[in-house]
Amino acid sequence: MLLTFQQAKQQVLQSASTIKSLHSEKVTLFDALDRITAESVISPINVPSFDNSAMDGYAVRLADLKQSKLLPLAGAIFAGDDINKLHWPQGTCLRIMTGAPVPNEADAVVMQEQTEKSDLGITFLGNVKTGDNIRRIGEDVKKGAITVNKGTKLTIPTLSTLATFGISDLVVFKKLKVAILSTGDELTPIGQPLSGNGAIYDSNRFTLKLLLTKLNCEIVDLGIIPDDPTQIKHALITASSQADLVITSGGVSVGDADYTKIALEELGKINFWKIAMKPGKPFAFGKIGDALFCGLPGNPVSALITFYQLVQPLILTLSGQQIAPIDLSFKVKTINNLKKSIGRLDFQRGILQSNEYGELVVTTTGQQGSHVTQSFNGANCFIVLEQDRGNVNKGEMVTVELFNTLLK
């Protein structure tokens, strides 16, 4: 079955609803960074919680200013002062600092720069209107208002806002459990001498661990499984019983030793897709028991790109994130010719930068083969070339998609 990239992505995302949603847990505000809210967050207070001054200046009554532009100084209010017992005679003004509480009777705060000070008091130079430079109670957030919706990924600015409410812990979704394993007789764990002539390092499992860590998943690492259908089958059964999502790499194409495919066919409802995307044509997707399953292609570049483009959005959805992050993509000129064959959607790697005229242009990183890991060197974006497009000449417009934080 040949699928377009969009069809594949849609099917992957639709399957998320077949998995039961994650439980929740309480964590401290500090530990909530990058986690996802399991309930909406309500402000327990008004922010600001009292009328306060936006400037260093003078608190005035407009009625007094109507009588005279020169008012004697009756006192000073600092941030943190209790003004309940404040005595403020008619016909005077008060010195007031930024963030200090504004007395009820004050109509405005006049900024220092619009006044003149003398022995007699303060002379007010400009026009003064009711409410000038007073931050009103609840102006930023009203007590009881929803400030963060359920399913929101918590960023530093959001957590910073919650800290202004005095909130110290939050209910977030538990981390998604993801089991990973690599298949292939040729694989050697990194850090060990290569085990033979045809041996290579199992870089994919290492990469997956990094990606999943960055996506805040709990990882169950089942290691390297040899190309043996029985062992692969056992490993997959273990994986699916321990995790919400199982990810493998290798063994899903049409090679003679693609035993993962044989094992999967016996185990569950797995589709072996050929996706019209490059890199990353073979991709297996389905369910083993209650867990979702993604079988990535073995080539490291294909594995990374299919993970980024297809598995990442799935993981965000499964993790409880309700608003999909916005992928920043736009059109720019390519300054190189780009090799492209018609029939698949290409995710080539590029370097987006501004030229001497301050315009954004994209440069290719060079060779784009799915085994060429160097093609990520210096890259900061994908050059996304449409399925029905052929070779691209320099100067033509191409769509670029900036890498999100997963690749930075």
295 is an interface residue for Mg ion by CB under 5 A: no
- State the residue for tokens 């993970």: 307
Please name which of 69, 113, 98, 105 lies closest in space to residue 84, comparing C-alpha atoms.
105
DSSP 49-88: SS-EESSSEEEE-HHHHHH-SEE-EEEEE-TT---TT---
Choose the one of Mg ion, ligand AMP, none that binds residue 365, judging by a C-beta under 5 to 8 angstroms depending on kind. Answer: none
282 is an interface residue for Mg ion by CB under 5 A: no
Considering beta carbons, is residue 321 or 373 the nearer one to ligand AMP? 373
Report the nearest approach of ligand AMP to the CB of residue 262 (Å): 13
**Residues 325, 152: contact at Cβ < 8 Å?**
no
Considering beta carbons, is residue 200 or 210 the nearer one to ligand AMP? 200
Footprint of ligand AMP (CB under 6 A): 182, 184, 186-187, 200, 202-205, 249-251, 253, 255, 297-300
Answer for which of 101, 121, 138, 250 binds Mg ion (CB under 5 A) is 250
Report the nearest approach of ligand AMP to the CB of residue 339 (Å): 21
Candidates 32-40, 250-258, 273-281, 358-366 — which segment interacts with Mg ion by CB under 5 A? 250-258
Considering beta carbons, is residue 106 or 246 the nearer one to ligand AMP? 246
Q: How far apart are CA 309 and CA 380, in angstroms?
A: 15
Choose the one of ligand AMP, Mg ion, none that binds residue 15, judging by a C-beta under 5 to 8 angstroms depending on kind. Answer: none
Considering beta carbons, is residue 138 or 184 the nearer one to ligand AMP? 184
350 is an interface residue for Mg ion by CB under 5 A: no
Structure tokens at 240: 């699916």
Candidates 89-97, 162-170, 181-189, 278-286 — which segment interacts with Mg ion by CB under 5 A? 181-189
Please name which of 49, 32, 50 lies closest in space to residue 41, comparing C-alpha atoms.
32
- State the residue for tokens 């996506």: 215
Residue 303: exposure state from Cβ atoms within 10 A (0-12, 13-18, ≥19): buried
Angle between helices 229-242 and 259-267 (to 10 degrees): 50
**Residues 282, 273: contact at Cβ < 8 Å?**
yes
Candidates 216-224, 242-250, 271-279, 372-380 — which segment interacts with Mg ion by CB under 5 A? 242-250
57 is an interface residue for Mg ion by CB under 5 A: no
Considering beta carbons, is residue 250 or 313 the nearer one to ligand AMP? 250
Considering beta carbons, is residue 184 or 313 the nearer one to Mg ion? 184
Choose the one of Mg ion, ligand AMP, none that binds residue 297, judging by a C-beta under 5 to 8 angstroms depending on kind. Answer: ligand AMP
Phi, psi of 7 (to 5 degrees): -65, -45
Considering beta carbons, is residue 11 or 203 the nearer one to ligand AMP? 203
**Residues 60, 74: contact at Cβ < 8 Å?**
no
Residue 194: exposure state from Cβ atoms within 10 A (0-12, 13-18, ≥19): exposed
Report the nearest approach of ligand AMP to the CB of residue 254 (Å): 9
Report the nearest approach of ligand AMP to the CB of residue 249 (Å): 5
Q: How far apart are CA 141 and CA 161, in angstroms?
A: 10
Q: How far is CA 42 from CA 167, 192, 332, in A?
A: 10, 52, 42
Report the nearest approach of ligand AMP to the CB of residue 270 (Å): 15
Tell me which residues in 251-270 interact with Mg ion (CB under 5 A): 251
Interaction site with Mg ion (CB under 5 A) = 184, 250-251
